[in-house]
Chain A
Amino acid sequence: MFKEIAVQVKNSILFVAVFTVLCGLLYPVGMTLVGQLVFPKQAAGSMIVVGGKTVGSELIGQPFDDPKYFWSRPSATSPFAYNASNSSGSNLGPTNPAFISGIKANVDAARKANPDMAAAPVPMDLVTASASGLDPHISPAAAEYQAARVAKARHLDPAKVEAFIAQNTQGRWLGFIGDPGVNVVKLNLALDELK
């Protein structure tokens, strides 16, 4: 029996070693080489480079609170919002009093910043924290909600702002899978380039 166990332990060690080389080194290193060759931009994180400077990633959101920018969703990452080295949701439960008062503060801030929309309901995604804390998108409704404010702050024709929103909206895949989202970083960068 002990001899049997000794043989099996030896087999186990060899097996873990062989598969560590195959699945833990050759596989990821091979995929990295091929990936960087075929899709270099995506493999490196889809970075946005403006004037030789990396200003963010197409896939990672950033925080905004200037009236001239579209605002992203609230983020629960610490120690600051949209910390892309520490992704996190709020994990607050639906009846937690601290959660409800936090949302109330977000709703009040959104209404105050967008007086033109006083009569409209506040889009839920604009006042709730995303799962990752890095959500690059807001819903088209949340972009519409802010469009008048941004147009005023930038002295732009509202129709032009609408066109920018449409340009930076990622639709549903095949027209029906997923939900449409407006990429906030790309939209704000496009508006900045206008000057």
Chain B
Amino acid sequence: MTSNQWLQIIAYFVVLLALAIPLGIYMGKVYENKPLFLSKLFGWLEKLIYKLGGIHPEKEMDWKGYALSMLLFNIVGGLILYAMERFQASLPLNPAGQSAVPPDLAFNTAISFITNTNWQFYGGESTMSYLTQMAGLAVHNFLCAASGMATLVALIRGIVRKETKFLGNFWVDMTRGTLYILLPLSLIFTMILIQQGTPQTFGNTVNASLVQPTSYDQPVTTAAGVPVTVDGKPQMTHVVVTEQPISLGPVASQEAIKMLGTNGGGYFNVNSAHPYENPTPFIDFLELLAILLIPAALCFTFGSMVKDHRQGWAILAAMFLLLAPMLYICVQQEQAGNPLLNKLTMGTHGETLADGNMEGKEVRFGIVNSSLWASITTAASNGSVNAMHDSFTPLGGMVPMWMIMLGEVSFGGVGSGLYGMLAFVILAVFVAGLMVGRTPEYLGKKIQTYEMKMASIMILIPPLLVLVCTAVAVATGGNGTNNPGAHGFSELLYAFDSMSNNNGSAFAGLSATTLYNLMGGAAMWFGRFWLAIPVLAMAGSLAKKKAVPESAGTLPTHTVLFVVMLISTVVIVGALTFFPALALGPIVEHLKMVRM
């Protein structure tokens, strides 16, 4: 790595930390219902929402009530979104005349957006109307992020509170999270995006006259769409193109929440690689910050709510240390480039982007920002991309795959990342307890059979989904892959890895089939809610317990020793589960590449 690359990465993490600390402490106040500066501005709106929604904010819920609200809310939201996609052709704000989304794709997309996955088996600018994008997809970008944070906050309350069954009110947590955290950040970010060049308009596609006209050969077809052949060869016509159709839309407002809520569903097909979604290096830097901002800040929210900031720091340190070595490998591999191409260009292992693996990358981001993005978008469950992971070098592309395989706990999704990590914390505390022969406890609460069962479900469900779905996809012929051999397998493994863990990034060469749409939809659903329900069950059980006073036998959970325990637990579970699958995909492809 060059000194400039080190500098860019260090600057990124320093600024991230500087922003995450105050935001995290502020978010703690939001969820502890403390008075805020913003509640002077938006307090009336908060009250109005409760009134319109028929909610009694002072009424707290037990874990079952909380879970029921969360589930029903997501089911209702998903059904409405599905209907909006199916009927978009007859709804307003559709200047480009997009037709109804097919049922299997609409199913997949609806689940994708309510589960914070934002997997996209479609190209936005060629599939979705303006209305579906902004009043359907973008609304769920807010709501599923708020829902993830609410679930986490319920778990934290379960840890903090003693001998009660109440965990808070789901509707209040949703409203406050959206109104006081997500919306204000999005408002600011949208304005910066527009200033830098991201469009925000309801105008239709603009046809620009090309500076130099271009042309292409198109197969001739009959009226029924059958290709015409002459002497067995398909007949072609030469089409001259003088105009470039430029798709526009209300992009900036959607881009802001897509980055902040670890959603990642792009307005355009190529996501944040599109010059309109991500116009400049400055915006790229801000979008990178937005990916990890809330997941990192939540560690400080956790610290302030449990009244021990060392606990938040310890978890943040573990998250960072899981990411850092992978980030290094990714940058190093992409800069070293593809030896098969270097042979052709007579290039060397140089230090500029003109020497690295530039297939599927944009010049303004270069090697380092493309690799940084790939690593952190999969560490967090954002899943947006600014480069095509499918065209990364084998080991460079294995990094995002591996970060997802860890279960989206190194930062992870807003809310879901930290509650996933807390499941690993409980497992680590339990393992440590077995070693020294004491009843495990965490932050003054005894960890017993019930908590262990719930944590185990949370840790085992995603790998099960990944491996079963990939196996089914391969056994049914592995259709739709864009590349032959080991790389085709990697495309399938990445797809179900990404969907089961609610990430949403892709080896995007893979095409949708009805099977993938339906199976993937199911994987996203279970990957989200079969984790969220055990979290709430665990929260309910912890809240009922008495506090155990700290004693000499208590394992401190803020020490370097514990951070190492925690990292080892996450890595061992991930490595044992996925090493065989990785050996069949990226590892074998790497060995093939260096010997070709």
Which residues of chain A have a CB within 8 Å of any CB of chain B? 4-5, 8-16, 18-20, 22-25, 27-28, 31-32, 34-36, 38-39, 42-48, 53-66, 69, 73, 79-97, 99-100, 103-104, 107, 121-139, 141-142, 170, 172-173, 176-179, 181, 185, 188-189, 192
User: Contact at B364–A179, with CB atoms within 8 Å?
Assistant: yes
Query: Once the chains are docked, how many angstroms separate the CA of A96 from the CA of B4?
Result: 32
Residues of B within 8 A of A20 (CB): 80, 135, 139
Q: Give the docked Cα–Cα distance between A43 and B229 (Å).
A: 46
User: A128 with B134: in contact, given A57-B246, A135-B363 (CB under 8 Å)?
Assistant: no
User: B residues 198-245 with Cβ under 8 Å of A?
Assistant: 198-203, 205-212, 214-216, 218, 239, 241, 244-245
Asked if A16 meets B77 with Cβ closer than 8 Å, knowing A103-B344, A137-B363, the reply is yes
Decide if A179 touches B363 in the complex (CB within 8 Å). yes
Given A8-B72, A16-B77, A91-B390: A124 and B194 interface contact (C-beta under 8 Å): no
* A residues near B370, Cβ cutoff 8 Å: 131
Whether A28 and B388, one on each chain, are in contact in the complex, defined by CB atoms closer than 8 angstroms, is no
CA gap between A189 and B209 in the complex, in Å: 13
Q: Which residues of A contact B138 (CB under 8 A)?
A: 23-24, 28
Closest Cβ–Cβ distance, residue B159 to chain A (whole Å): 26
Query: What's the nearest-Cβ distance from chain B to residue A10, in Å?
Result: 7
Nearest Cβ on chain B to A172's Cβ, whole angstroms: 6
Closest 5 CB pairs of A and B: A178-B281, A179-B366, A91-B509, A24-B135, A131-B273
> Bound complex: CA of A44 vs CA of B252, how far in Å?
11
Residues of A within 8 A of B508 (CB): 89, 91
18 contacts between A and B (CB under 8 A): A31-B190, A42-B196, A55-B208, A56-B209, A62-B211, A87-B269, A89-B273, A90-B360, A91-B507, A94-B393, A100-B344, A121-B347, A127-B344, A132-B362, A137-B363, A141-B352, A141-B354, A177-B281
- A54's nearest neighbour on chain B, judged by CB, is B208
The B231-277 residues at the A interface (CB cut-off 8 A) are 239, 241, 244-248, 250, 252-254, 257, 268-270, 273-276
Stretch from B464-472, B482-490, B512-520, B534-542 that touches the partner: B482-490
Q: Are A139 and B593 in contact (CB under 8 A)?
A: no
Q: Closest A-chain residue to B194, C-beta based? A: A35
Q: A83-B244, A141-B354, A177-B11 are in contact. Are A95 and B362 (CB under 8 A)?
A: no
New contact pairs (9) apart from A64-B212, A65-B214, A125-B354, CB-CB < 8 Å: A11-B73, A14-B54, A19-B139, A20-B80, A55-B208, A55-B211, A94-B593, A97-B484, A99-B359
Is B509 within 8 A of A92, CB to CB? Answer: yes
CA–CA, A54 to B365, complex, Å?
27
Contact flag A93-B341 (CB < 8 Å), given A11-B53, A85-B247, A86-B125: no
Return the chain A residue nearest B280 by Cβ.
A173
A43 to B361, CA, bound (A): 25
Contact A32 B354 (CB under 8 A): no
Contact A82 to B244, CB < 8 A, known contacts A125-B363, A170-B364: yes
Q: What is the size category of the interface that chain B forms with chain A? A: 35 or more
With a CB–CB cut-off of 8 A, which chain B residues contact A42? 194-199
CB-defined contacts of B171 to chain A, threshold 8 Å: 11, 15
Name A94's contact: one of B284, B338, B361, B363 (CB within 8 Å).
B338
- Candidates B76, B194, B202, B341; contact of A12 at CB < 8 Å: B76
Contact, CB under 8 Å: A31 / B390: no
Q: Is A128 a contact partner of B359 (Cβ separation < 8 A)?
A: yes
Q: Which residue of B lies closest to A125 (CB)?
A: B358
Q: CB-nearest residue of chain B relative to A75?
A: B214
Residues on the B chain within 8 Å of A87, using CB: 123, 125, 268-270, 273-274
| Contact B245–A100 (Cβ < 8 Å) | no
**Which of B216, B270, B276, B341 meets A128, CB within 8 Å?**
B341
Interchain CB contact under 8 A, A90 and B200: no
Residues of A within 8 A of B14 (CB): none
Say yes or no: B186 contacts A27, CB within 8 Å: yes
Q: How many A-B residue pairs have CB under 8 A?
A: 400
Nearest-CB distance from B71 to chain A (Å)? 9
Nearest B residue to A73 by beta-carbon distance? Answer: B363
Give min CB distance, B486 to chain A, whole Å. 8
Q: A56-B210, A91-B482, A134-B274 are in contact. Are A107 and B353 (CB under 8 A)?
A: no
Q: How far is the CA of A153 from the CA of B382 in the complex (A)?
A: 47
Query: B198 CB to closest chain A CB, in angstroms?
Result: 7
Q: How far is the CB of B77 from chain A (nearest CB, A)?
A: 5
Residue of A nearest to B217 (CB): A79
Shortest distance in angstroms between B185's beta carbon and chain A's nearest beta carbon?
Answer: 12
Q: Which residues of the partner chain A approach B369 to less than 8 Å between Cβ atoms?
A: 177-179
With a CB–CB cut-off of 8 A, which chain A residues contact B53? 11, 14-15, 18
B350-398 contacts to A, CB under 8 A, are 352-370, 385-388, 390-394
Inter-chain contact B345/A124, CB cutoff 8 Å: yes
Q: Is B364 touching A178 in the complex (CB atoms < 8 A)?
A: yes
Task: Evaluate contact between B346 and A124: CB separation under 8 angstroms.
Answer: no
Give chain A residues whose Cβ lies under 8 Å from the Cβ of B341: 100, 103, 124, 127-128
Is B401 in contact with chain A by the CB < 8 A criterion? no
Q: Return chain B residues, CB-CB under 8 Å to A103.
A: 341, 344, 359
- Docked Cα-Cα span, A15 to B48, in Å, equals 12
Inter-chain contact A92/B211, CB cutoff 8 Å: no
Q: In the complex, what distance in Å separates the CA atom of A152 from the CA atom of B491?
A: 46
Residue numbers in A under 8 Å from B356 (CB-CB)? 124
